[in-house]
Amino acid sequence: MLVVEQLCKSFNTAQGTLPVLQGVDLTLARGSSLALMGESGSGKSTLLHLVAGLDRADSGRILIDDEPLDGRSEAALARWRREGIGLVFQQYNLISSLNVASNLAFQARLAGRHTPRWVDYLAERLGLAALLQRYPEQLSGGQQQRVAIGRALAARPALVLADEPTGSLDEASSDEVLALLLELVGEAGSSVLMVTHSPRLAARLARRCFLHAGRVQTEGV
Amino acid sequence: MSPLTITLQALLSHWWRHRLQFFSILVGLWLATALWTGVQALNDQARTDYARASAVLAGPTQAQLVPQGTDRFEQALYVKLRQLGWPVSPLLEGRLRLAGEHALNIRLIGIEPLSVPPATAIAGTPAQGFDLDAFIGSPGQAWVSPDTLQQLGLKGTDRVTTEDGQALPPFVLKPELAPGVIVVDIGHAQALLQAPGQLTRLMLMGDAATLPADIADRLRLQSPSDDGDLQRLTDSFHLNLTALGLLAFVVGLFIAHAAIGLALEQRRGLIRTLRACGISVRTLVLGLALELGVFAVLGGLAGVVSGYLLAGLMLPNFAASLRGLYGAQVAGHLSLPLEWWLAGVGVSVFGALAAGTSSVLRAARLPLLALAQPQAWLLAQGPWVRRQAGAAVVLMLVAFVCWRFGNSLTSAFILLAALLLAAALLLPALLDAALGGLERICRRPLAQWFIADSRQQLPALSLALMALLLALAASVGVGSMTEGFRKTFNGWLDQRLSASLYVTPQDTEQALQISDWLRQQPSVTAVLPSWRLEVRLQAWPVQVQGIIDHQDYREHWPLLEQSAKAWERLASGDALMLSEQLARRLELGLGDRLEFPANPVQPMTVVGIYADYGNPKGHLLVNADWLRGNLPEASLTNLSLSLPPDRVAPLKTQLQQRFALDDSRVIEQANLKAWSTEVFSRTFAATAALNSLTLGIAGVALFISLLTLSQSRLGQLAPLWALGVRRSRLVWLSLGQTLMLSSLTVLLAIPLGLLLAWSLVAVVNVQAFGWRLPLYMFPGQLLQLAVLGLLTSLLASVWPLWQLARRQPAELLRQFANEA
Amino acid sequence: MKPETCVVMLVLLLGGCDRPAPAPKSFAGLGQDAAAYRQVLPEHPLIFPLDHGAHDGFRIEWWYVTANLTDTQGRDWGVQWTLFRSALRPGQEMKGWSSPNLWMGHAALTGPGGHQSSETLARGGLGQAGVEAQPFRAWINDWSLRGTDGIGRLRMTAGGEGFRYDLKLHSERALVLHGAQGYSEKSGKGQASYYYSQPFYQVSGEVERGGERIPVTGRAWLDREWSSQPLAAGQSGWDWFSLHLDGGAKLMLFRVREDQGMPYRAGTWISAQGETRALQGDQIQFKELAWTTQDNGHRVPTRWQVKVPAHGVDVQVDALEPKAWMETSYPYWEGPVRLSGSETGRGYLEMTGY
């Protein structure tokens, strides 16, 4: 469902142009999962942002179900983020002024696909059922990340993009949260593209690929 | 639910969690609108009432015929003109004293409804419903506006008698009628004013022909341009008030701007999340704009209501000073038409746009992926501060140009505005520089942190500090001006009001009789007659006063500038003296010659210039004999008497009995002085009230800024706490920071305020009223204001710091947990 | 002043007005204190020159001159000069503004190209307007009618926007008393006025229109009438004719229209020698033949058939200017007419209450 072809992206910095992606090729089939690995600054997050339509590539193509993403307007990209994907960040990025229940249902309502039973189920599975009336600042880090995962999956997006989803958590809760994420993604029928630097976590995904110097170096199996 | 609704919900949910911020913005817009609409309500009410006053008879009135040298003339002249085919309508005007506990004084106008032309509305009353029989018949009607009745403490059904026992016709309420005026048929007016067969002027419809010679001796044509004087004379008064209102508006907007900016800052994360979740920029901006609109409407409605109340509170003083200064009648109550609500909300929307547009645009341009670190934003303020300082320099140039080359009240106000704005824009740079200097001096770690952290707070606090600076400077400036004026004015009044008793006879004939009689009174040491005439010089109304040569003038008529032997030359009849404002208007100085519009025109030399505070008209002094010789229409209007203090009261009684003069015609020096001083203190009361309100607003601005800041301050305070600084110590340190910043601001506000005071007395006053005042400094007053400023910031910091002190250690700890 | 403003004068002067009575109170008031005014009584001898002057104590009174004139090119002109006195309350004239009298002047000039009219108002008691009997002088503001030789010779001036006239009137003939020695009934119910005329004036002078002065000559007719209650309730207006027959005779005819029933008709036949015959009721027959809609929408009959069988009169009366509408405080129609049929001649027609 996701095909990335010869994707290039560079940033302008005070020291001159810094090339980050220099011709990345990638595919991800429906229902599959892929871990994107590499050292800091290898362009993992940039690639994720490009796929999310948060930024635009300099050249190359991103195809979603054979439709190119690059040519789309700002409004169309917003629609893609709203309806096509679910984003999970390292910093959770919850809406601090809304309670857990509202945060969970937020994107599903935005996408116009709010099914209360599914959201209730997610809350149940994520262990948030008792915390629905709380505000994000009243939750622990692990709990906040569960809310973020629930928010990303509430609209059953075709693609879940996760950027170091467990980066702020300790090892035990990392494993637990990731397991939950993958399980629920499977139930939702979504594909997953996850950025991580942890081989231990990457190992739990269907496929892995390593970015080095702006290119896909090897693709593990 | 549409994305817009969900966006709005998410945006608005912020306010639920940050209610104080919500109220800050609301308060800013509310105060701005309230003060602005309040001032405008006062101005508008006054202007409406001037219009009502000049529209007692509105219609195709082209010009008027007024008597020469007397107040009144016999109506045979009217009949004669009518028989010559002149389309004139007679009027009789006078003051009527009504009987009652307090002697009430009201303007009576007698009109003749049959001779006014068809298109004329009488007292704003369309000709329909005009019951001629009832109006001109017996007992007739007395038209009066409801506010006049209220002012007199009367009801519409009351029957009122004059002081000499004549019954006024029954009242008929005419809301359109000018305040302070009663309109009756001319026949009733002649009876009430005891002026049988007398008229005061003729309204002329259509074009004027040449007056027949025998009538031209008695009446002269006054062109219609003579009207509207009241509007013109009071313009500067209203402009002053408007400027103050505008200042308050700007200060209010500072609050709103600060609060909106901080709200945006706190919602950067939210905005980024919303965008990441697929909300387009358009929807986001629309949501933010709608949110701003809600604030504007709420603030506007609240502002109009409180502006109206404020105006109502200030109206009595306001009306009294207009009456005292210009003789203008302003109603004692306000009207609030629908347009007011709309205009108020409009002003609020404008204010919200001015205060919030930059924030909304910044939100729109917010890069999706930039790290939402406040520090990054604060660092980006560096060039911003430099840009502000650049703008300040440009503004100072503008101020300089206005001062050197400006020649109008508008340019004077631009000077003030540029000066204030420049100072405000320069403030962050100055404070930053001052803190930078301190930082270099400090060696101890906590002290270093103290200064560095204050510097970091500066961008967030700078708007509130600017508001404080402006408000304090305005207080210092206006305070110095009013105190200086009071001092100058009282000194001038003491000198000028040297006679013991002032007599205003009914006419020249009576004046001469009184004068003769007084000369035979042994107790009277001096009788100084004043001959008067109103003329126009360059279309400006000017009072010409003819005086005799007397030692008293040399001693008690202070001159600002004079030529050698000025009084002797005045006595000789070929020289004159001008009031300061007239000299400025005519651009004349000592030794210049003025073509005096006598017949034939007489060139006169200016030999003296004197202060004439509070007189909206021009004033000039000439020799009495010369005046009578060249302008026979001059009348003897005043007699000033010098006599021993113990003889004053008996002579007053004697005069009143012998010549049938009431209290308003024989006035003791003390009463006159008290009255003059009261008029001025009332005039400045409004100014002072607005001024203290502005200071209050600045306090609110500071309070709100500190409050919103206290939240984000946790992050800065937590490391110190972790390093072992006690919480109470932290609170004291924070308080110290606030007080340090506001002290520096207060220090800067004092020279700025003095500069402002100088601009007011030397530039604005000259343009507005035509007189320049010496600049006085009142150290006590300055100290008082400085303390007030510090107190304001202390009060503003108390609540936020208390909040800080109440924080649980866990909350400080959480700062670490959440710091990524 | 708008028409409505002059409610009092309107009611007093013309009784019937051209719109529904605006203030019933005024009618009621009229009935009540009419008794306080002096009453018109039969067999009350008129005394001259005293009766040329104003009659204090009567409610209304007028001096009314109409002139049919011809210029050197043979064109017809008509001139009207009217002064009304109206008392707000009974009693003698008083000096000053408390005078009970209001004065109103109407002037009109009708000629080739149209009709112009003007109105001027004044309060009594000041000398701004008034009438003195001996020597005769009637004036209001700058309009006047001054007599020498009683009223045998008059100088008449007035004007308005865009027109003026200055005419000399002369007649050696005796005055004509209408009705019974000047007691002229206006209804079958006792409403009456004192009414006399001088219909035999010869006129010369000039009229001025748009700055052009035009010498004219012709005939004029003076009407004098005073009363306190000329119309009965239910009388809505009148049609009044003053006709100069080319044979030398004069004819005054009027009818007062009733809301219900036959109009009240009366008139006077004045022979060329000045002998009078009072006419009444069916002796006079009127018939409207054609109507003209005025610019302001009022419909007015401007062609009439008038018959006085006893004197062999059967004429068609045509308005010279069908739109001779008087735009005054109370509007009415007044203008010169031309006669054809059994007699030829000129005259004036006044119609109120349309």
pLDDT in tens, B634-653: 888 888 888 888 888 888 88
Mutation choice for A interface testing from B15, B22, B277 by most A CBs within 10 A: B277
Report how far residue B708's alpha carbon sits from residue B797's, in angstroms, rounded to the nearest whole number. 11
Chains with ≥3 Cβ pairs under 8 A against C? B
Cα angle for residues B783, B785, B789 (degrees, 5° grid): 115
Quick check: C14 pLDDT over 50? no
Q: Is B566 helix (H, G, I), strand (E, B) or coil?
A: helix
Q: Kindly report which listed range (B44-53, C62-71, C131-140) carries the lowest average pLDDT score.
A: B44-53
Given this model, what pLDDT does residue B35 score? 80
Given this model, what pLDDT does residue C183 score? 93
Quick check: A78 pLDDT over 70? yes
Cβ atoms of B347 and B255 within 8 Å: the answer is no
Helix-then-strand count for chain B, H and E = 25, 22
Q: Kindly report which listed range (B70-74, B115-119, B338-342, C182-186) carries the lowest average pLDDT score.
A: B115-119
Report how far residue B21's alpha carbon sits from residue B704's, in angstroms, rounded to the nearest whole number. 7
Given this model, what pLDDT does residue C313 score? 95
Query: Cβ–Cβ of C142/B85 closer than 8 Å?
Result: yes
Give me the total of CB pairs closer than 8 Å, taking one residue from chain B and one from chain C.
Answer: 69
Scanning every residue of chain C, which has its alpha carbon at the shortest distance from the alpha carbon of B84? C142
**Over residues B74-79, mean pLDDT:** 92
Query: Cβ–Cβ of C142/B190 closer than 8 Å?
Result: no
Scanning every residue of chain A, which has its alpha carbon at the shortest distance from the alpha carbon of B371? A91
Given this model, what pLDDT does residue B377 score? 44
**Over residues B711-725, mean pLDDT:** 67
What confidence tens digit (pLDDT) does each residue in B479-491 have?
787 777 778 877 8
Q: Is A67 helix (H, G, I), strand (E, B) or coil?
A: strand
Q: Kindly report which listed range (B668-682, B800-814, C113-127) carries the lowest average pLDDT score.
A: B800-814
Given this model, what pLDDT does residue B60 score? 43
Structure tokens at A185: 């993604």
DSSP structure class, residue B502: E
Maximum CA pair distance of chain B? 104
DSSP symbols for C256-316: EEESSSPPEEEEEEE-TTS-EEEEEGGGSEEEEEEEEE-TTS-EEEEEEEEEEGGGTEEEE
Cβ atoms of B589 and B563 within 8 Å: the answer is no
User: Chain A contact for B367, CB < 8 A?
Assistant: no
DSSP structure class, residue B265: H
Give the closest-approach CA distance of B473 to chain C in angstroms.
59
Beta bridge partners of B502: B640, B667
Query: Cβ–Cβ of B85/C121 closer than 8 Å?
Result: no
**Over residues B465-470, mean pLDDT:** 82
Q: To the nearest whole number, what is the mean pLDDT of chain A?
A: 86
Mutation choice for B interface testing from A13, A80, A110 by most B CBs within 10 A: A110
User: Chain B contact for A75, CB < 8 A?
Assistant: yes
What confidence tens digit (pLDDT) does each residue in A161-179 have?
998 888 777 888 888 888 8
Given this model, what pLDDT does residue A194 score? 92
| Domain ranges (residues) in chain A | 32-41+77-220
Query: Cβ–Cβ of C5/B187 closer than 8 Å?
Result: no
Report how far residue B60's alpha carbon sits from residue B55's, in angstroms, rounded to the nearest whole number. 11
Give the closest-approach CA distance of C86 to chain B in angstroms.
11
Given this model, what pLDDT does residue C16 score? 31
Given this model, what pLDDT does residue B361 score? 80
What confidence tens digit (pLDDT) does each residue in C210-269 have?
889 999 999 999 999 999 876 777 788 889 999 999 999 999 999 999 888 889 999 999
Given this model, what pLDDT does residue B103 score? 58
Given this model, what pLDDT does residue B675 score? 72
Given this model, what pLDDT does residue B231 score? 60
Checking phi first, is residue B776 left (phi over 0); if not, alpha (psi -120 to 50) or beta?
beta
Given this model, what pLDDT does residue C53 score? 94
Structure tokens at C246: 């080319």
Cis peptide before C49 (omega within 30 of 0): yes
**Over residues B456-460, mean pLDDT:** 76
Cα torsion at B365, B367, B371, B373 (round to 10°)?
0
Given this model, what pLDDT does residue B229 score? 55
Quick check: B225 pLDDT over 70? no
What confidence tens digit (pLDDT) does each residue in B132-172 have?
788 888 888 998 888 788 877 788 788 888 878 888 999 98
- The CATH number of whichever domain residue C68 belongs to comes to 2.40.370.10
What confidence tens digit (pLDDT) does each residue in B359-409 have?
788 777 766 655 444 444 444 556 667 788 888 899 999 999 988 888 787
Structure tokens at A147: 């809310």
What confidence tens digit (pLDDT) does each residue in A14-40 have?
677 888 888 899 899 888 999 998 887
* Residues spanned by the domain of C318: 3-351
Given this model, what pLDDT does residue A41 score? 77
**Identity at B176, one-letter amino acid code:** E
Structure tokens at B417: 């505005």
Residue B281 burial by Cβ neighbours in a 10 Å radius (0-12, 13-18, 19+): middle
Cα angle for residues B118, B124, B129 (degrees, 5° grid): 65
Quick check: B599 pLDDT over 70? no
Quick check: C10 pLDDT over 50? no
Residue with tokens 């009659």: C55
Q: Kindly report which listed range (A109-113, B275-279, B376-380, C13-17) carries the lowest average pLDDT score.
A: C13-17
Q: Work out the pLDDT band at B333, boundaries 50, 70, 90.
A: low
CA atoms within 13 A on the CB side of C234: 11
Beta bridge partners of B544: B533, B620
Given this model, what pLDDT does residue B330 score? 65
Neighbours of B721 (CB within 10 A): 18
Residue with tokens 């970091």: B456
**Over residues A200-218, mean pLDDT:** 86
What confidence tens digit (pLDDT) does each residue in C170-195 have?
999 999 999 999 999 888 777 889 99
User: Chain A contact for B275, CB < 8 A?
Assistant: yes
Given this model, what pLDDT does residue A130 score? 92
Given this model, what pLDDT does residue A14 score? 67
Given this model, what pLDDT does residue C12 score? 36
Q: Containing H/E element for B479? A: helix B445-496
DSSP structure class, residue B211: P
What confidence tens digit (pLDDT) does each residue in B97-108 have?
887 766 567 888
Q: Work out the pLDDT band at C32, boundaries 50, 70, 90.
A: very low
Measuring CA to CA, which residue among B815, B799, B810, B807 is closest to residue B727? B807
Q: To the nearest whole number, what is the mean pLDDT of chain C?
A: 87
Report how far residue B166's alpha carbon sits from residue B172's, in angstroms, rounded to the nearest whole number. 18
Indicate the class that CATH gives domain A32-41+77-220: alpha beta
**Over residues B247-260, mean pLDDT:** 73
Q: Work out the pLDDT band at B683, boundaries 50, 70, 90.
A: low
Quick check: A48 pLDDT over 70? yes
Q: Measured between beta carbons, which residues in chain A are less than 8 angstroms from residue B13?
A: 95, 97-98, 102
Most confident of the following: B199-213, B530-544, C333-347? C333-347
Share of chain C above pLDDT 90, in %: 69
Query: Cβ–Cβ of A106/B10 closer than 8 Å?
Result: yes
DSSP structure class, residue A80: I
For B203-235, letters b (16+ CB in 10 Å) and e give bbbeebeebeeebeebbebeeeeeeebbbebbe
User: Chain C contact for B197, CB < 8 A?
Assistant: yes
DSSP symbols for B777-797: --HHHHHHHHHHHHHHHHHHH
DSSP symbols for B626-648: HHHHH-TT-EEEEEEEE--HHHH
What confidence tens digit (pLDDT) does each residue in C89-109 have?
888 888 889 899 999 999 999
Q: Work out the pLDDT band at B356, boundaries 50, 70, 90.
A: confident
DSSP structure class, residue B280: -
Q: To the nearest whole number, what is the mean pLDDT of chain B?
A: 79
Q: How many domains does chain C have?
A: 1
Query: Cβ–Cβ of C96/B127 closer than 8 Å?
Result: no
Given this model, what pLDDT does residue C22 score? 30
Share of chain B above pLDDT 90, in %: 8
